[in-house]
Amino acid sequence: MVDASATALPDAATFACGQCGASLRFAGVRTEACPYCASPNFVERPARARSPRPGLVIAFAADAARARQQLAGWLGSRSWFADARLRRARVEDLRGVYVPAYLYSAVAHTEYTASIGEHYTEIEMRPMRPMGETGEIGEIGEPVTEARRVTRTEYRPLAGRHVGYVTDVLVSASTGLAAAELAALEPFELGQLRRYAPALVTGWIAEEFSREPDGCRRASREAALDEIALELRRFLPGDSHCDLAWRTTVEWESLEPILVPVWVLAVRYRDDRPALRVVINGQTGAVAGRVPWTAWKIAAAIALAVLAVAAVLVVWHGAPP
Amino acid sequence: VTACARCETALEPGDLRCAICALPVPAAAPPAVAEPRAQLLRCRDCGAAIGFSPEASAPRCGFCGQAMAIEQPIDPPEAAQLHLPFTVDRAAAEAAMRCWLAGRGWFAPRALASEAVLESLTPLSWAAWRVQAEALVAWAADSDAGAERSAWAPHAGQVPLVFRDIVVPASRGLRHAECRRLLPYYDWSTAIAVDREPLLGAIERFDILRSAARRTVQAAIEATARVRIQPHIPGRRYRNVRVACLVERQTTERVALPAWILIYHYRGTAYRALVHGQRADRVHGRAPLDRRKLALLVGLVGLVGLAAAIAKLALG
């Protein structure tokens, strides 16, 4: 779950609990519950380049009970190939985490070249196959032609430009949640963004930013370029295209630190296997996790498929002598 | 902050990001932290430490249930800023309707004008957005210019465009087609602020949230750009017209446009028609059709077709 570009967690610091004065260690988080009095403490630290203060936050929209319901629904809807014991799995650890992320936007100017395929039709004369002794068309061996309408493609070069804003590119800034895991939980409803305030995260785990902003900027830019590439393919005219080459310049890049709500769970479905990690979008309820497959079910399905193909072949060609 | 630093689009109170380019609006500097320390949020009623509650969408006390008022996400339904006054009064609207019913043509029932019963005639100012913007528009299309074996050849270009007074219907009550028929006949020079003069009748609420409204407006700008770039496409025929817009300096006004909504009954069935609030000669709506006349027409067409078929057979 932790990739190579991740940086070390921010320095841990110890503060006195605001309620009972007990020592509280804030390691990579902005919030901590006191183990003695359960008071939800938060800490405001000066922003640093590697660990900025969040600018925006999406708040949790439902409680833990709702997250458990969403998990149960998701486990129940897994395919037949998934381990059947998943349906009776127990949740060992369920935590609501405000995960740090960056929201990227930019202006993108793209220059492209491509070969644009334009269809046209032609009438083509083709020799017909004789129909045999009782055939209605021609005698055996006599060349007979027929007119057929065929569609061909003419490729024409095109050079042009594409412009636009790239918005709402979200990348994880947490070493604990991989970019792919966050991507699996998207989209978040960004219309519900709020300005960050400790009141929105107190009582929950609010992680500190633990990835380098420069690395996140590069990852965001790559995601933005992928988005532009997809958009460019939809933008091109013609019936088809090939040899698409493009160069995109991004300007006015913005990388806004935000916190997004994620339920992180450990699901125990077998005592002899590690717990399955599942994440749930704390706003929309979307669930993501890598479901274990059952080897014998896959083997049985392959064997059945092979048997079915063999049976069809036998019926089609007749039994071997 | 009144305009986005990146695209110079006007910002509205409560915007956290620019509606067009999504650049975050700078926040006021957070309070300086001299010495970091652990803090608690306390209930104002009982003093207990409290945490954020998803149900309350705010911090709430687990002991006394008191929720703390905090800033909520701003995505409000919006209200009209400008309106155009009615220049067609009730009597003129009713007369326009009677005139319209009498002129429904041969297929309308002969007794429509005399037997139609007016059920209601309501003045309503329906909701719309009026948009001004500038945009760099990149386009690509197929046209017949330069075509060789295929009838089409690809072309592309980029052009700056200025959009003035694009009016986008925001009405939930009126159909889009109805709004489109009314729009060309409004006198925009009469527009005044909503709070400067009392309105005749009701003003339709902007039921669409701000975020959804902006998507609708963006789609309208793109649709307008697709039409506006057509003179830049070489050739006489074109297809697959694609546009990409880099919109800048967009301003959006919420306007209320006058119309008389009338419901009338004819032989037990209700129909709706609209009388333009500023032009009594612009009336649109549904009217009943005389089924006997329609059946007669279908029969006549059938007979003509049959006669033509017989004639063709007879002539060999």
Closest residue of chain B to A23, computed from CA coordinates: B38
pLDDT for residue B310 is more than 90: yes
B43: distance to nearest CA of chain A, Å? 12
CB atoms B51 and A40 under 8 Å: yes
Q: Which amino acid is at B23?
A: L
Q: Which residue has the higher pLDDT, B13 or B279?
A: B279
What mean pLDDT do residues A74-86 have? 78
Mean pLDDT across chain A: 86
pLDDT for residue B266 is more than 70: yes
Give the confidence band of A131 by pLDDT, cuts at 50, 70, 90: low
Kindly write down the DSSP assignment for every residue of A191-247, as one continuous string. Answer: GG-EE--GGGTTTSEEBPP-S-HHHHHHHHHHHHHHHHHHHHHHH--SSEEEEEEEE
Euclidean distance between the first and the last CA atom of chain A, given in angstroms as a whole number: 57
Order of all β-strands in the sheet with A31-33: A31-33, A40-43, B38-40
> Of all residues in chain B, what percent carry a pLDDT higher than 70?
96
CB atoms B138 and A162 under 8 Å: yes
- Name the residue facing A199 among B17, B70, B211 (closest C-beta): B70
pLDDT for residue B34 is more than 60: yes
CB atoms B16 and A193 under 8 Å: yes
Residues 85-104 of B with CB under 8 A from A: none
Cβ count within 10 A of residue B190? 13
**Digit-coded pLDDT (tens) for A216-262:** 999 999 999 999 999 999 999 999 999 999 999 999 999 999 999 99
For the entire predicted model, the pTM comes to 0.79
Q: Which of A53-57, A126-130, A170-174, B119-123 has the lowest mean pLDDT?
A: A126-130
B51-to-A32, A69, B37, B61 alpha-carbon distances in Å: 11, 23, 18, 7
Q: How many residues would you count in chain A? A: 321
Q: Which of A121-135, A166-180, A278-292 has the lowest mean pLDDT?
A: A121-135
**Digit-coded pLDDT (tens) for B140-156:** 999 999 999 999 999 99
Q: Which of A69-78, A280-289, B26-35, B296-305 has the lowest mean pLDDT?
A: B26-35
- Name the residue facing A15 among B38, B68, B211 (closest C-beta): B38
When mean pLDDT is compared over A252-256, A276-280, B11-15, B264-268, the highest value belongs to: A252-256
